[in-house]
Structure 1
């Protein structure tokens, strides 16, 4: 039988399993709206019933405690049901974005050793294609409609089960792989619930709030902060399979949204379709997932008349590490102070946290480890529970964090350190640039070249060679010589993953194929650019 559908915890304490979150809300307000999808509303009571039915389906298929359940999906009610249902059975959900390639999905399926796989074919042609490749067949989905269910993997071996929610894995999320082979991050029930509770509190969420769910739930930001954080407060989440700027603007104006969370790329697209100003019931805007430029922050705030809050996290921290506070909006691009209960330390060369250094994190949000990768886990997670994030940060006088860049993205030029984020911030300040990305590539005599890629802003009068030349002049006026790009390449659109994060691995490959740097800047034709999903 599934784990009993009760929180089994004192009032105000976190339940041992994710399903306890839903149980509380369904008990308190069974008729309150929990999810909106394609014009229909699912109440908390209906969601609880659908989750219970899904858990019974898993048991009938032969899913055992400790098994991994693969879900290839785009945002929908069925996906939410399986997230909670897997936990009811003490199985791990392996949440995969359907927009990944066949190679990427197959690699995750094999590495996770999933017992069974589900594909949300009703809302995602890509999920359907993966399911058909894997020999899945149609079956009823919770709440109506259908999905595809794959064959049982008899070779799957269950993992140990722990009663303690802080030790029991709830979700196995694979990192994007933009800097190497994807790793499976094991996140416990407690880590996900902790971030959901804190995220909900810091946003001041209440049951009457209406949040927008365009960020993929297959990504930790969309799953924990957006989905679980919204449900933790008893609010309602409007689910959409994929982000479209015009649809978000319509929902803001017509559906009474009060909360929007997104990555900076989403806000860039929203500005392209939004008139100024926008009259709406919004009370909270939040950006995370990638660096936020000062220019974009100012433009969004002017358009919507609200502060654009900022935060920082990573999959290994479920994901939130720091966040600007609702009652203390910032006029800079700090990612705010650490969230309550989370410790940080900055390991700089002289121990001064005001100077850039490696950021380490410890707290209830930190992962259990990388699945089937003890050496990789030991390389980033020490015996005292401190996680090396791989990011470079500094602390302001008030303790707020500023992310400088990633350790692995550091470029060494003329013996000096160049952090791509600093160069990107300068390029993004140009009025004709929508977004930019900076990478390093091997140069002469052991040096590294600074290569910049820029995407023109919609409607810009400058494109191609003209924009590249203008950016070279712009960068020369604001950056030291060793920080200036040796080459500026203008692309119609920067390659991006499902969450909108720029795929720097693709840009590094492109940079290595460019001719040697010369005087001035250049652009390349669209046909040579990596495709944007």
Structure 2
């Protein structure tokens, strides 16, 4: 098989002659009156629910594009969008696409120095942000050509800073329309930065074809139609919300309901009020919902998650969880458990058409079924895989081998029925003496102990073995037999099911975990606890 390379602009591919503005205009023309965006902010005494039809949203996008054009933004320019979930995020993102500019979306938890790196690395000509993030913009050390700030903080009252987004948008409606950029599907459309946990973050460049691929693939796999509605509370600056939820819904002509963030107490009200039929989810969210009152009826069909058919979720809610896997570099889902087909419990699913997938050992040889190995993915650069790392040809080249396989850095287990289970991030491995230990493997066993709500396993420095596994555990309420018996049960269960070097040396019962974006457990913070003397009463 020929190694994938970037398709040239003259090649014929699924999105030749098309771009992101084309997709939005198709829906404006055919479904203009249908609700596209519904905004449900939190921080108001009376919830202010606002709705944009496809036609209304398209008009605002054109107006904001005209306003950006008046500020000198043109095709190829990069604009920083440093916003939490809000309609302004989407208006700015699609306005950049309209002009052929590149939307650079950044994590709202970034510090000023981190934001400065994103801005300088991307050579952003301007920024769209919000009042609560204004200090990071002004302190990042970069002089922007313009700085537009929303008039609220994701719906909450806020002081006026920068150019008013609402005023800029209103003025844009009076300006001559900005021309849509030439229909080069392989032109850069957006940039998202990787987490940068081991090195400087890299900007992942998506083309217009990438965005359209994500939209069409997601809508097809999820079997979405024009009457579907999804609730989006995960950050729009990440692939999950932007591609899996938003773009897939745009392709299908459905409705996207946006909340500033996840709220367990507000979730069901929003789902029922808007007739939501599915949501992308994360384990933290599902565990939180277990403790919330549930409505007598709703229209949800499934939840998308990293693992399929989770028994406790099915038993409690009567809903399927559809397993999936994707990452920023793959644009959309590369593994999926089909909507209408049986799934292997706990698996991500089977490989999606359009991607080659293999699982190999450290020597590059295929692993036997049932054994863990490194996940490699192959696709077409600029269509089914990202175009490049922004202005970093060395990193782009290093991400692929000579045959065009992209190294995900993830450990997975393939099975004879075609399903693949996620095991661990490569960086989440522990080296115990001469043995590699997967944190996820230990966490999976701990999760079988009655009373365990969530666990996180990390390596603790050890003079003899380099590091040893320790576990942090959140219980469901107070363990009935007491902490000591609960801890011993966890250790005994691990000793029964795992090799001795994988058994946690210590177990810490805690009320909550430190978390980062998407509510992932911040294991770096957990490891940092061992850099200082251990406090008494921690177990």
TM over 0.5: yes
2:242 is matched with which residue?
Answer: 223
1:35 equivalent among 34, 37, 61: 37
State the distance in 2 between where 1:317 and 1:186 align: 11
CA contact (8 A) 2:17 2:183 kept: no
Distance 2:354 2:203 in 1: 25
* C-alpha distance after superposition, 1:269-297 (max 9, x if no partner): 1112144x852111121113xxx498xx2
Match of 1:422 in 2: 441
Is the partner of 1:301 in helix, strand or coil?
helix
Give, in whole Å, the separation in 2 of the partners of 1:105 and 1:58. 21
Task: Check the 8 A contact 1:34/1:42 in 2, yes or no.
Answer: yes
Structure 1 stretches lacking a partner, 5+ long: 1-9, 151-160, 517-521, 526-533
Tell which has more relative contact order, 1 or 2 (C-alpha 8 A, sep 6+): 2
Match of 1:323 in 2: 336
Cα deviations by residue, 1:384-415 (Å, 9 ceiling, x for unpaired): 43210001122211222112212222223243
Name the structure 2 match of 1:153: none
Residues 276-319 of structure 1, C-alpha deviations (whole Å, 9 max, x = no match): x852111121113xxx498xx22221222121111111121124
Q: Deviations over 1:37-78 (max 9, x none)?
A: 131210011111111111111111111222211011111111
Query: Residue in 1 aligned with 2:23?
Result: 21
For residues 74 and 498 of structure 2, what CA distance do their matches in structure 1 show? 58
- Matched residue, 1:165: 185
Asked if residue 47 in structure 1 is aligned to residue 57 in structure 2, the reply is yes
Are 1:181 and 2:200 an aligned pair? yes
1:149 CA drift (Å): 4.6
- Is residue 286 from structure 1 mapped to residue 304 from structure 2 by the alignment? yes
1:119 correspondence with 2:108: no
Whether the aligned pair in 1 keeps the contact of 2:377 and 2:406 (CA below 8 Å) is yes
- Within 2, Cα distance between the matches of 1:97 and 1:309? 27
TM-score (norm 2): 0.83
Q: Does the residue aligned with 2:436 lie in a helix, a strand or coil?
A: strand
Q: 1:523 to 1:365 in 2, by over 3 A?
A: farther
Shift of 1:132: 5.8
**1:4 — aligned with what?**
none
CA distance in 2, matches of 1:429, 1:148: 52
Aligned to 2:311: 298
Please name the residue that 1:402 is paired with: 421
Secondary structure at the counterpart of residue 24 of structure 1:
helix
Q: Distance in 1 between matches of 2:504 and 2:13?
A: 56
* Residue 81 of structure 2: aligned partner: 71
- 1:89 alignment counterpart: 99
Q: What are the ranges of 5 or more consecutive residues in structure 2 without an aligned counterpart?
A: 1-11, 41-48, 165-180
Aligned-residue offset at 1:362: 1.2
What is the alpha-carbon distance in structure 1 between the residues aligned to residue 393 and residue 518 of structure 2?
28
1:457 is the counterpart of 2:476:
yes
1:175-218 CA-to-partner distances (Å, cap 9, x unmatched) read 22334432211122212221221111111111111110111101
- How far apart are 1:335 and its partner, in Å? 0.4
**1:118/1:148 contact within 8 Å kept:** no
- What is the alpha-carbon distance in structure 1 between the residues aligned to residue 129 and residue 449 of structure 2? 43
CA distance in 2, matches of 1:197, 1:489: 45
Return the offset for 1:483. Answer: 0.7
Query: 2:106 aligns to what SS in structure 1?
Result: strand
Report the 3-state secondary structure (helix = DSSP H, G, I; strand = E; otherwise coil) of the residue aligned with 1:85: helix
The aligned residue for residue 246 of structure 1 is 265
Distance 1:69 1:379 in 2: 27
| 1-structure distance, mates of 2:534, 2:85 | 42
**TM alignment of 1:498-513, pairs within 5 A:** 498-513=517-532
* 1:342 and 2:355 matched: yes
Kindly report the root-mean-square deviation, in angstroms, between the aligned alpha carbons of the 2 structures. 3.0
Identify the residue that residue 372 of structure 2 maps to in structure 1: 356
Q: Is the 8 A contact 1:178 1:505 kept in 2?
A: no
